[in-house]
Amino acid sequence: MKHLLIVFHSQSGNTERLAQAAAEGARTERELVETRVVLAADAGLGDLLWADAVLFGTPENFGFMSGMLKDFFDRTYYAARGRIRTLPYAVFISAGNDGTGAVRQIERIARGYPLRKVAEPLIATSGVTEEMRSVDPDGSRVPTTDAQLMQAHELGQTLAAGLACGVF
């Protein structure tokens, strides 16, 4: 049995919906791959030691990954050094209109962690317009679309299938 870990933070539910869709996709391989979904605040070294691959999910906040996901990296970096092999990973981001800042930071951390990117990042933007911002300044009530949930489902399935086939 291989193990896929999904670590995410979500403040207003959008990233959480992506995480759930990714987990559903991953569980299409449930006979060969066990999927564990953990809030970044609750995740720790034990989860990394358990994992054969990791999916990271975060909203983009102020051009960064969320503080809670950064905290997970901060807490586990030294503890994981020398104890985990290079783990295959991918990311999914929920963002009002950008998302690239969060991706860049995670990819930079991944280079030193060690993590190896095995799928392109999924950025689910809600296309917030200025008009929408006037009633919803942080874009947090803009819903994740079905198409984005489908993409997250595919991302989870891709990671799990890669583990199941032993391609990572």
- Contact residues toward ligand FMN (CB under 6 A) are 10-16, 59-63, 94-99, 138-140
Provide the minimum distance between the beta carbon of 152 and ligand FMN in the complex, in angstroms, as a whole number.
12
- Nearest Cα to Cα of residue 92 among 117, 130, 62, 57: 57
Instruction: Check: CB of residue 44 under 8 Å from CB of residue 54.
Output: no
Is 24 or 98 the residue whose CB approaches ligand FMN more closely? Answer: 98
Provide the minimum distance between the beta carbon of 136 and ligand FMN in the complex, in angstroms, as a whole number.
9
Provide the minimum distance between the beta carbon of 98 and ligand FMN in the complex, in angstroms, as a whole number.
4
Is 138 or 154 the residue whose CB approaches ligand FMN more closely? Answer: 138
Q: How far apart are CA 60 and CA 139, in angstroms?
A: 11
Is 92 or 113 the residue whose CB approaches ligand FMN more closely? Answer: 92
Name the DSSP letter for residue 58: E
